[in-house]
A and B are shown apart, each in its own frame.
Chain A
Amino acid sequence: MAALRAGKTNNEADNPSSPVLRFGVDQPLKLDAGTLLSPFQIAYQTYGTLNDARSNAILVCHALTGDQHVANTNPVTGKPGWWEVLIGPGKIIDTNRFFVICSNVIGGCLGSTGPASTNPATGRPYGLDLPIITIPDMVRAQQMLVDHFGIEKLFCVLGGSMGGMQVLEWASSYPERVFAALPIATGARHSSQNIAFHEVGRQAVMADPDWHGGKYFDYGKRPEKGLAVARMAAHITYLSEAALHRKFGRNLQDREALTFGFDADFQIESYLRHQGMTFVDRFDANSYLYMTRSMDYFDLAADHGGRLADAFAGTKTRFCLVSFTSDWLFPTEESRTIVHALNAAGASVSFVEIETDRGHDAFLLDEPELFAAINGFIGSAARARGLSA
């Protein structure tokens, strides 16, 4: 069963259901780790039509365990796209109007080159032989994809959490290619607490004997227990104390009384176990290590002499930042730090803090105030860009 699942994920890694852009040895990806990744590939999805002026393109950047299937049924899980509430025909981000691109990040496991992809040098999956991938690396690859479409300037780049980091990186490194930037529930650097959470997750994966130093594919195994525990711990950080209490309280799971054992007596336990189990069906454990590392390494100010404002010096990009009151992974203060830096850089910036108890994951949910803010921001940016309604 595990081997079967491993085979399925491997297929998506090398030959995904999505269109794939392959870069040969003549077009290597320069990595922050100091090496070149070559050959490599990017799996992506697009929605809508690129207009003649190529001015209506929106790039969506996915979060830690997201993928390119932002607005279509996910081929692995069979579930709706992860941002279908926001993106689609007639939706807030209207694919009748905009050309939406979403690609799997480098280091991911759904078709862009990552640790589960076959290493051409060995014919086996890369595993830990893949160099560490950073947020700027991911964005550099996305830039090559955008070039492929002949798009000089993206109308908008948006994303939440790790996706928001990519948005900030885009706006900082390629300001002339980003008309509007919408980073949501994110930060210009990963905090010590967030690195700590990630380290717990990685250690859980590595402690699983089935991990085999990252070479589990050679043993026909997958570190499912470790990855599930990592997901369970992480999932708690995506919610909030208030939301957990509202949803589960101390309710018991399919039983009238405590069992005086270690079964999942409480609903919250059963819920987390389910989250962990379903996650391992769709995600590669090594990829999880790489993704978490990329966020840990992100520090936009450090890349600019410690002054975040310098990351945005002279920018003409229009920004809108969004945070959520109950997000303890990226609290409002993280967004405010970016806003102050943008102010100091004289940038055009909006900042909305949304009152909700749904925690970090609120950005993926049906939040009317979030949608109103995105709608207002995209609408006015489209007018400024001369895009007809």
Chain B
Amino acid sequence: MSVNRDQRVDLEVVANLIPPRSRVLDVGSGDGSLLELLRDTKQVDGRGLELSQRGVNECVARGLSVIQGDADTDLEFYPDKGFDFVVLSQTLQATRNPKLVLDELLRIGDRAIVSFPNFGHWRVRASLFFNGRMPVTKDLPYSWYDTPNIHFCAIRDFVNLCDELGATVEKATALDAAGQKIGLSMPWWFWNFFGQQAVFLLRR
């Protein structure tokens, strides 16, 4: 939906958080990579919601249960706790109302898994600081005028939002530029500086 799938180092991390045979809703399922991975490796009962018609048609042609819809407006049609996990990968920053969307994820799923590009990463900071221009990096390849990413946040911002929504962070992972996990013992500020991507497992 918003980030090139070839660069989706977070998919494996997300998949590892999900036990076999779970019921999963993937919000912003793109071309279906995650759902396919989950179906083929974990026999997951997966569903998808995707904004782009092209992505949806691709998913359905691959035999995945995906509908065309908008995370901002269509999550209300899902029943409470209808899924074990609701995944929002690399999509939060592209929603109009991230707070409401996150709230809906926690309502629909027993657990929510959210991954997003960290705007607090040092490259982003350096780009803005030294160039004085909106950052364009490998993970965030868009220019300011054509980006679908309208609500960026840093890892620390996200942690604050979770607090506000009464969500408990069960697990968090930050990936550095090489896609390697950053050590668990590191403090938030360190993650916020060196984490290029973040993956959170939440419940309420």
Contacts and interface: CB of A to CB of B under 8 A. Distances in A.
A318 B65 contact: yes
Interface in A350-389: 350-355, 369, 372-373, 375-377, 379-380, 383
Interface string B96-113: 000000000000000000
Interface in B65-124: 65-69, 74, 77-79, 82
A380 B57 contact: no
A49 interface: no
B56 A380 contact: no
B63 interface: yes
- Of the candidates A372, A376, A379, A383, the one having the most CB atoms from chain B within 10 angstroms of its own CB is A376
Contacts of A318: 65
A372 B56 CA distance: 12
Contact of B57 (A340, A345, A346, A352): A352
B47 A354 contact: no
B67 A376 contact: no
Contacts of A340: 74, 77
A372 B64 CA distance: 12
Given A344-B78, A349-B47, A376 B65 contact: no
By size class, the interface of chain A is 20 to 34
Interface residues of B, number: 21
A185 to B, nearest CB: 15
Interface in B29-86: 45, 47, 53, 56-57, 59-69, 74, 77-79, 82
A373 B82 CA distance: 25
B60 A376 contact: yes
A380 B77 contact: no
Contacts of B79: 343-346
A339 interface: yes
A320 interface: yes
Contacts of B47: 348-349
B57 A379 contact: no
Given A339-B67, A376-B62, A353 B53 contact: yes
B65 A348 contact: yes
B67 A377 contact: no
A376 B60 CA distance: 6
13 contacts: A320-B60, A343-B74, A348-B65, A349-B67, A350-B59, A350-B65, A351-B67, A351-B68, A351-B69, A353-B56, A369-B57, A376-B62, A376-B64
Shortest 6 CB-CB contacts between residues of A and residues of B: A380-B63, A351-B67, A376-B61, A372-B61, A340-B77, A343-B77
